[in-house]
């Protein structure tokens, strides 16, 4: 389907299932995508941290994108994640991923090194990327440390003023992003990056989200943002408090939580690719409890309806 124009838009890093020998299980991936198309998830982000991007090579990423595109069969859209420091390489990958069906690309802001004097202006990076990418660009600010900063307000204003920018994904540094939000161009969507920050981001203007929590409760993420858009802050707060435990586990234990949560909800999450390890029995029990607390799973262990 075309990229949605109505907010909220909720997307999530797409889990990659593996066989016992650690090869990609593309058949399981296709089955998961078909099941996700029955949820409130707006689209899929393929080749990103939650999808174990740093544990895969380019041929695998291409096969993943093609599998997701074929499986959703026009019912959703695909964002391909790109993480490289070269704008020339970003453009090459954008063309490659678009050829196999990606509708957009998610491009990380390069980290600032030293005082920045030995780097070209960040505006030059995104001017080339947005000009030469065959598909719209989503800019993500994701510094190496949670309180890090790789962008100034004026740089963000310049970047989001370029044609072909669809959205800006905020960082975990909420104090910083409160200042940055007014500098996002009005034509560009402002998205939350994290389940725990859904309501806080909605309060400062977020109209969507790209988040790990979207794998388990995209309908709740949608409802929190919608409640903020409507000014129903008490409703947003009630939902936010329900999901904080589950989202915290995702931040604390990483991709194993994504996979475990999906397994518990009837998807084929499988296990992480080494060196990451599956969760322990005790950790799995806490994930189950958090899913029940969030209202994503019933107390009997069955998935709750997603409305």
Q: Tokens 């650690």 — which residue?
A: 22
CB 29 within 8 Å of CB 53: no
Contact between residue 159 and residue 108 where contact means Cβ atoms under 8 Å apart: no
- Domain boundary assignment for the chain: 9-232
Q: Are 15 and 50 in contact (CB under 8 A)?
A: yes
Cα distance between residue 79 and residue 220, in whole Å: 21
Is residue 44 within 8 Å of residue 36, measured between CB atoms? yes
Q: What is the distance between the alpha carbons of residues 162 and 53, in angstroms, rounded to a whole number?
A: 27
CA dist 182 to 129, 166, 188, Å? 23, 16, 11
The verdict on domain 9-232 having CATH code 3.30.70.270 is: no
Q: Both ends of the chain: CA-CA distance in Å?
A: 20
* pLDDT tens by residue, the chain, 307 residues: 678 889 999 999 999 999 999 999 999 999 999 999 999 999 999 987 666 777 888 999 999 999 999 999 999 999 999 989 899 999 999 999 999 999 999 999 998 776 666 688 999 999 999 999 999 999 999 888 878 888 999 999 999 999 999 999 999 999 999 999 999 999 999 999 999 999 999 999 999 999 999 999 999 999 999 999 999 999 999 999 999 999 999 999 999 999 999 999 999 999 999 998 999 999 999 999 999 999 999 999 999 998 8
Query: Per residue in 119-162, pLDDT tens?
Result: 889 999 999 999 999 999 999 998 888 788 889 999 999 999 99
Gap between the Cα atoms of 185 and 164, Å rounded: 12
Please tell me whether residue 141 adopts helix, strand or coil conformation: coil
Q: Quote the pLDDT of residue 50.
A: 66
CA geometry: angle 268, 262, 94, nearest 5 deg:
80
Q: Please say whether the beta carbons of 41 and 11 come within 8 A.
A: yes
Round to whole Å and give the CA distance between 145 and 133.
Answer: 28
Report the greatest alpha carbon distance in the chain.
Answer: 58
**pLDDT score, position 57:** 87
Closest Cα to residue 221, out of 79, 41, 72?
41
Long-range contacts formed by 19-24: CB under 8 A, 24+ apart:
19/270, 22/273, 22/274, 24/56, 24/60, 24/63, 24/64
Residue-wise pLDDT for 5-29, tens only, equals: 899 999 999 999 999 999 999 999 9
Q: Please name which of 43, 77, 75, 79 lies closest in space to residue 218, comparing C-alpha atoms.
A: 43
Distance CA 209, CA 195 (A): 8
Backbone φ and ψ of 106, nearest 5°? -105, 120
Q: Is the pTM of this model over 0.75?
A: yes
CB atoms closer than 10 angstroms to residue 114: 7
At residue 116, the pLDDT reads 64
Inter-axis angle of helices 281-294 and 233-253, to 10 degrees?
170
pLDDT score, position 36: 98
Q: What angle do CA 198, 199, 201 make, to 5 degrees?
A: 65
Give the start-end residues of each E strand in the chain: 9-13, 43-46, 77-82, 104-108, 137-140, 165-169, 189-192, 208-210
């Amino acid at each position: 389907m075309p990229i949605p124009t109505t907010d909220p838009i909720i997307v999530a890093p797409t889990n990659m299932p593996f066989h016992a020998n650690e090869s990609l299980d593309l058949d399981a991936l296709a089955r998961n995508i078909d099941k996700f198309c029955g949820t409130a998830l707006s689209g899929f982000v393929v080749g990103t941290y939650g999808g174990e991007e740093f544990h895969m090579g380019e041929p695998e990423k291409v096969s993943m994108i093609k599998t997701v595109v074929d499986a959703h069969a026009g019912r959703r859209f695909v964002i391909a994640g790109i993480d490289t420091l070269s704008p020339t390489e970003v453009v090459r990958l954008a063309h490659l991923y678009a050829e196999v069906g990606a509708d957009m690309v998610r491009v990380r802001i390069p980290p600032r090194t030293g005082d920045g004097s030995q780097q070209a202006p960040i505006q030059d990076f995104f001017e080339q990327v947005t000009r030469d990418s065959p598909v719209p660009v989503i800019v993500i600010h994701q510094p190496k440390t949670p309180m890090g900063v790789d962008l100034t307000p004026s740089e963000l204003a310049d970047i989001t003023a370029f044609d072909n920018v669809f959205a800006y994904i905020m960082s975990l540094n909420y104090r910083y992003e409160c200042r940055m939000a007014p500098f996002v161009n009005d034509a560009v969507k402002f998205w939350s990056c994290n389940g725990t920050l859904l309501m806080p981001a909605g309060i400062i203007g977020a109209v969507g989200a790209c988040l790990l929590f979207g794998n388990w409760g995209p309908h709740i993420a949608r409802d929190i943002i919608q409640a903020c858009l409507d000014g129903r802050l008490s409703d947003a707060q009630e939902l936010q408090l329900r999901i904080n435990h589950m989202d915290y586990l995702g931040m604390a234990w990483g991709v194993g939580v994504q996979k475990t949560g999906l397994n518990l909800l009837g998807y084929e999450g499988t296990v992480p690719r080494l060196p990451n390890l599956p969760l322990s029995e005790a950790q799995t029990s806490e994930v189950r409890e958090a899913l029940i607390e969030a209202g994503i799973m019933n107390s009997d262990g069955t998935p709750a309806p997603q409305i």
